[in-house]
C-alpha cells in the first residue's frame, strides 16, 4: 500500500442540512476520481457511504462513514456525516477528525438550520470551511440567491470561486474565477473549455463577473500586507496569488470559498477535486492539536518523525467483525501488530490489523502516517481515547456531545431476552455517545434515551438487525410518590384463633409528616406494653408497607411512625403477629392522615433564538411550568430557566425542535417532588393502576 507524505493528505468532513446532498456529493467525487465504478444513488440505496441496512431503508445517513481514495497523488479521506439533528454526535465526530469542513447547501432551498449548525461546529473546532452549492441542475435552483444568503448569514469571509453562467433559465457554462476560464460539460460530466460569458450570453453577467472578481480579490487582499498593498494600487492578482491567498485564508478561517456542483450530472466535480488539491490545507498546515501532559499543555505537531499520538474519534459496533475504531493519527506512525498505551485509561492497547475504508470496503494496510485516518479492529479503546507510543503520556481533549433529551421505556418482546438486550445496548452506547441505557430506580423500567424520536427508533431497529433482539418501546412511567399531611394516632390489632397457638399483636402508632425519603421509626413505649423484642417486627412491617401507598400504590415518603402503646399475649404473640398489626395500623393511619400524591419536578434550561422565547414561555405555562428567569447567552440567543413537572416533558424535545427549527436545545434534571394538583389526582391514579 502506498505511503503518503503528510502534505499529500486531505481530511474532509461533509456536513450540512439533511437532504442537502452530502452523500451524493461524496458519491460523485468517488466516481470522478475512479474510486467507484458506478454512480450510486441515495434513493436506490446504492451509494458507497450509505451502506447500513437502516440507511438504505430510510434513504438517510445515520452514521458518519469513511471513504478514502487516491486522486492526483493525494490521499483524500472523506467523512460523510448525517444532517439529521438526531445524529448530531456523528457530525461532531466527523468534524473532529477532519481538517476542512465542506458544508453542502442546496441551490434549491438555500441556507437552513443544518447549514448554520455545521458552520458553528466547524468554527468551534477551529476547522477551515468551504461551501459547496449542490443540486445546481435543479429547475428551481438559484445560485446567486444562495450566494447572497451565504454572505448575509456568514459575513464577508464568503468568497465565490466557481459560479454558473445562466441564460434563459439554463446553465450554459461554469466560470472558475481563479483561472478566469469558463467550462461546458457533456452528458458524461467531462469539461470542455469555452468562451468567457458576455452580456449577450447572460443578462447582466458581465456586471456579476466584475463584482465577483472584486469580491474574491478583496478577500485575498485580507490575507497579507503585500497583497493588500497590491489590491489598493489596483493591480490584478496572479492565479498563483489567488490560490495561495485563498489557501492561506482558509487555513486561518478568514476565507470561506464557494463552489457549485451537480452530483447527478457530474458538473463542477472535476473543479472541486482540483480545489481540494490547491485550496484545502494539509494536516501539516493546520494549527497543532493541544494535549494535556502532566498538568501542562503540549502541542502535537503533525509530523511522521514525532512520537505516536492518535485519537479514536468514532466507534462502530459491527456484529461480524466486532468493534471497529476509526483513528486519526495526530503525530508519528501507527503500525499494525504493535502495542500502544491508552493514556485515557492507562491500559496497554494491542493494535492488530489496520484498514483503510471506502464505505464498507476494507483494504488492509501495514501502517498509517501522521495526519491520516485508519480503522483498527477489535481494540478495547472507546470514542475519545488517546493512543500513544510507549513512554509518552499525553491526552487529547474529549469531544463535547449534546445530552440525551428524549426517553422511551424498553421491554423485550421475547421472554428471557433481557440480558441479551443489555449486552447489545452496551455495544450501541459505545458506538453512539448520545445514547444512554439505564434502569430507573423508582419505576424499575429500562430507559433508553437519545436526541429524538427517530434516534430511538433507529437504535431499536439496530438491536433487531445487528443483534437479533426485538423490543417494544413505550412512554416511560412517571415515578409518583405518596405522603401524608396531618398527624394521626391509630390502632392496629391482629387477633386470630385457630387450633393450638393463636396469633395476637396489638399496637398504637402515631403517624406524622416529616422531611425524609425513607421511613423514620421511633418507639415511646412505657411499662413494657409491647416487649422490646417485637420492636424490629413492627418496624419491618411498616418498612414493607411504605412501598405501597393507599391512593395508587406508589411508594410513601415523608412519613414518621412512633410506636406509643399496645398489648401482647404471653403465648399467642409473635413477630409475625406484630408485623401484621403494624401493617394494619399503617393502612388505617394513612387513610385518616389526609394522603396526597407527589409528582417529580425538574429544572429546565432551554436555549433558543430570541424570536422563539415568547412561544416557548407560553408553552411552558401550558405544561404547568414556572418560568424563573431569562438571560442572554450569545447574540440572538436566550436561555430560559424554569421548573416543570416531569409528567409534562415527554414530548418537549419534539416541540422545541419544531418551534425553533432545530436551533433550540435544553437540559432537564430532576429537582424535587411537589404535591400533585387535585384536578389531576383521579387521572394519575387511573394511569398508574392501568400501567400495572
User: pLDDT-derived band of residue 496, with 50, 70 and 90 as boundaries?
Assistant: confident
CA angle 426, 427, 429 (to 5 degrees): 65
Domain holding 452, by residue range, is: 406-474
* Domain limit, last residue, from 447, 474, 501: 474
Give 203-242 pLDDT, tens digit per residue.
555 547 778 888 888 889 988 889 999 888 888 889 999 9
Asked, for residue 56, whether it belongs to a domain, the answer is yes
Asked, for residue 1, whether it belongs to a domain, the answer is no
Residues 170-196: what's their mean pLDDT? 90
Q: Are residues 145 and 265 in the same domain?
A: yes
User: Which CATH number fits the domain that encloses residue 373?
Assistant: 2.40.30.10
Asked, for residue 284, whether it belongs to a domain, the answer is no
- Amino acid 472: pLDDT: 93
Asked, for residue 71, whether it belongs to a domain, the answer is yes
Residues 27, 47 contacting (CB under 8 angstroms): yes
User: pLDDT-derived band of residue 395, with 50, 70 and 90 as boundaries?
Assistant: very high
Q: Are residues 340 and 413 in the same domain?
A: no
Residues 504, 572 contacting (CB under 8 angstroms): yes
Give 258-315 pLDDT, tens digit per residue.
999 999 999 999 999 999 999 999 999 999 999 998 778 899 999 988 999 999 999 9
The 10 Å Cβ neighbour count of residue 334 is 25
Q: Are residues 120 and 75 in the same domain?
A: yes
- Amino acid 200: pLDDT: 57
- Amino acid 692: pLDDT: 62
Query: pTM of the full predicted structure?
Result: 0.89
> Is pLDDT at 394 greater than 60 in this prediction?
yes
Residues 132-137: what's their mean pLDDT? 94
Q: Are residues 351 and 432 in the same domain?
A: no
Q: Are residues 380 and 441 in the same domain?
A: no
- Amino acid 205: pLDDT: 59
Residues 497-524: what's their mean pLDDT? 87
| DSSP-based three-state secondary structure for 187 | coil
What percent of the chain has pLDDT above 90?
A: 71
Q: Are residues 170 and 296 in the same domain?
A: no
User: Which CATH number fits the domain that encloses residue 645?
Assistant: 3.30.70.240
Residue of higher predicted confidence among 33 and 502: 33
User: Which CATH number fits the domain that encloses residue 125?
Assistant: 3.40.50.300
Q: Are residues 17 and 35 in the same domain?
A: yes
Residues 545-553: what's their mean pLDDT? 92
Asked, for residue 283, whether it belongs to a domain, the answer is no
- Amino acid 1: pLDDT: 44
User: pLDDT-derived band of residue 201, with 50, 70 and 90 as boundaries?
Assistant: low
* Domain limit, last residue, from 278, 306, 332: 278
Asked, for residue 235, whether it belongs to a domain, the answer is yes
The 10 Å Cβ neighbour count of residue 293 is 16
- Amino acid 324: pLDDT: 93
Long-range contacts of 43-52 (CB under 8 A, 24+ apart): 47/23, 47/359, 48/358, 48/359, 48/361, 49/23, 49/78, 49/80, 49/359, 50/23, 50/80, 51/359, 51/360
Q: Cα separation of 257 and 249, whole Å?
A: 9
Q: Are residues 194 and 268 in the same domain?
A: yes
Q: Cα separation of 218 and 237, whole Å?
A: 10
Q: Cα separation of 172 and 637, whole Å?
A: 43
Residues 493-498: what's their mean pLDDT? 83
Asked, for residue 462, whether it belongs to a domain, the answer is yes
- Amino acid 169: pLDDT: 76
* Domain limit, last residue, from 378, 396, 414: 396
Average pLDDT, rounded, for the chain:
91
Asked, for residue 127, whether it belongs to a domain, the answer is yes
E runs forming strands in 577-625: 595-609
Give 70-90 pLDDT, tens digit per residue.
998 999 999 999 999 999 999
Exposure string for 197-215, b = 16+ CB within 10 A, e = fewer: beeebbeebeebbeebbeb
> Is pLDDT at 202 greater than 80 in this prediction?
no
Residues 336-343: what's their mean pLDDT? 94
Q: How far is CA 421 from the centre of its chain?
A: 22
Q: Are residues 74 and 178 in the same domain?
A: yes
Q: Are residues 582 and 545 in the same domain?
A: yes
Q: Are residues 468 and 552 in the same domain?
A: no
Q: Are residues 255 and 297 in the same domain?
A: no
- Amino acid 487: pLDDT: 95
Question: How many domains does the chain divide into?
Answer: 5
Amino acid at each position: 500500500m502506498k505511503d503518503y507524505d503528510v502534505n499529500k493528505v486531505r481530511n474532509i468532513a461533509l456536513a450540512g442540512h439533511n437532504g442537502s446532498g452530502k452523500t451524493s456529493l461524496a458519491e460523485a467525487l468517488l466516481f470522478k476520481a475512479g474510486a467507484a465504478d458506478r454512480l450510486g444513488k441515495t434513493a436506490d440505496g446504492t451509494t458507497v457511504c450509505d451502506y447500513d441496512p437502516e440507511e438504505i431503508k430510510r434513504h438517510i445517513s445515520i452514521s458518519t462513514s469513511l471513504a478514502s481514495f487516491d486522486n492526483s497523488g493525494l490521499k483524500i479521506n472523506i467523512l460523510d456525516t448525517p444532517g439529521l439533528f438526531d445524529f448530531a454526535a456523528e457530525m461532531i465526530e466527523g468534524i473532529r477528525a477532519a481538517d476542512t469542513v465542506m458544508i453542502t447547501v442546496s441551490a434549491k432551498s438555500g441556507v437552513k438550520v443544518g447549514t448554520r449548525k455545521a458552520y458553528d461546529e466547524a468554527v468551534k473546532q477551529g476547522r477551515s470551511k468551504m461551501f459547496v452549492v449542490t443540486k445546481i441542475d435543479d429547475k428551481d435552483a438559484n445560485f446567486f440567491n444562495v450566494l447572497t444568503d451565504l454572505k448575509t448569514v456568514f459575513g464577508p469571509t464568503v468568497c465565490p470561486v466557481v459560479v454558473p453562467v445562466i441564460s434563459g433559465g439554463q446553465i450554459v457554462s461554469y466560470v472558475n474565477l481563479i483561472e478566469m476560464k469558463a467550462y461546458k460539460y457533456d452528458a458524461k460530466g467531462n469539461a470542455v473549455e469555452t468562451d468567457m460569458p458576455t452580456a449577450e450570453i447572460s443578462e447582466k453577467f458581465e456586471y456579476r463577473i466584475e463584482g465577483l472578481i472584486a469580491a474574491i480579490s478583496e478577500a485575498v487582499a485580507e490575507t497579507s500586507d503585500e497583497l493588500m498593498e497590491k489590491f489598493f494600487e489596483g493591480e490584478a492578482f496572479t492565479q498563483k496569488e489567488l490560490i495561495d491567498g485563498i489557501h492561506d485564508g482558509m487555513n486561518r478561517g478568514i476565507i470561506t470559498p464557494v463552489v457549485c456542483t451537480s452530483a447527478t450530472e457530474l458538473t463542477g466535480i472535476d473543479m472541486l477535486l482540483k480545489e481540494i488539491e490547491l485550496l484545502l490545507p494539509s494536516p501539516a498546515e493546520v494549527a497543532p492539536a493541544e494535549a494535556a501532559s502532566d498538568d501542562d499543555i503540549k502541542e502535537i505537531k503533525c509530523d511522521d518523525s514525532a512520537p505516536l499520538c492518535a485519537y479514536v474519534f468514532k466507534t462502530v459496533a459491527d456484529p461480524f467483525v466486532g468493534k471497529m475504531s476509526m483513528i486519526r493519527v495526530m503525530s508519528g506512525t501507527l503500525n499494525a501488530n504493535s502495542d500502544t498505551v491508552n493514556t485515557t485509561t492507562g491500559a496497554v492497547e494491542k493494535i492488530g490489523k489496520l484498514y483503510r475504508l471506502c464505505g464498507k470496503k476494507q483494504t488492509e494496510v501495514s501502517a498509517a502516517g501522521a495526519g491520516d485516518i485508519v480503522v483498527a479492529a477489535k481494540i478495547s479503546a472507546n470514542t475519545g481515547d488517546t493512543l500513544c507510543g510507549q513512554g509518552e503520556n499525553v491526552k487529547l481533549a474529549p469531544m463535547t456531545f449534546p445530552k440525551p433529551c428524549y426517553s422511551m421505556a424498553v421491554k423485550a418482546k421475547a421472554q428471557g431476552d433481557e440480558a441479551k438486550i443489555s449486552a447489545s445496548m452496551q455495544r450501541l452506547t459505545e458506538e453512539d455517545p448520545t445514547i444512554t441505557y439505564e434502569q430507573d430506580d423508582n419505576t424499575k423500567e429500562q430507559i433508553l434515551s437519545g436526541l429524538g424520536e427517530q434516534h430511538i427508533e433507529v437504535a431499536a431497529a439496530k438491536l433487531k438487525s445487528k443483534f437479533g433482539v426485538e423490543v417494544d418501546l413505550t412512554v416511560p412511567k412517571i415515578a409518583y410518590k405518596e405522603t401524608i399531611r396531618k398527624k394521626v394516632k391509630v390502632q392496629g390489632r391482629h387477633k386470630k384463633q385457630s387450633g393450638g397457638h393463636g396469633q395476637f399483636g396489638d399496637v398504637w402508632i402515631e403517624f406524622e409528616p416529616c422531611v425524609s425519603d425513607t421511613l423514620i421509626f421511633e418507639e415511646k413505649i412505657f411499662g413494657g406494653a409491647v416487649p422490646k423484642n417485637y420492636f424490629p417486627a413492627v418496624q419491618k412491617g411498616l418498612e414493607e408497607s411504605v412501598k405501597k401507598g393507599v391512593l395508587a400504590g406508589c411508594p410513601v415518603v415523608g412519613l414518621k411512625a412512633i410506636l406509643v402503646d399496645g398489648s401482647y399475649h404471653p403465648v399467642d404473640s409473635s413477630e409475625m403477629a406484630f408485623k401484621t398489626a403494624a401493617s394494619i395500623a399503617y393502612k388505617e393511619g394513612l387513610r385518616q392522615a389526609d394522603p396526597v400524591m407527589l409528582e417529580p419536578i425538574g429544572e429546565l434550561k432551554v436555549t433558543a433564538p430570541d424570536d422563539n422565547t415568547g412561544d416557548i414561555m407560553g408553552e411552558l405555562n401550558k405544561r404547568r411550568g414556572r418560568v424563573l428567569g431569562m438571560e442572554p447567552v450569545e447574540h440572538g440567543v436566550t436561555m430560559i430557566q424554569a421548573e416543570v413537572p416531569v409528567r409534562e416533558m415527554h414530548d418537549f424535545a419534539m416541540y422545541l425542535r419544531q418551534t425553533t427549527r432545530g436551533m433550540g436545545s435544553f437540559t432537564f434534571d430532576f429537582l424535587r417532588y411537589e404535591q400533585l394538583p387535585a384536578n389531576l389526582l383521579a387521572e394519575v391514579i387511573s394511569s398508574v393502576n392501568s400501567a400495572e
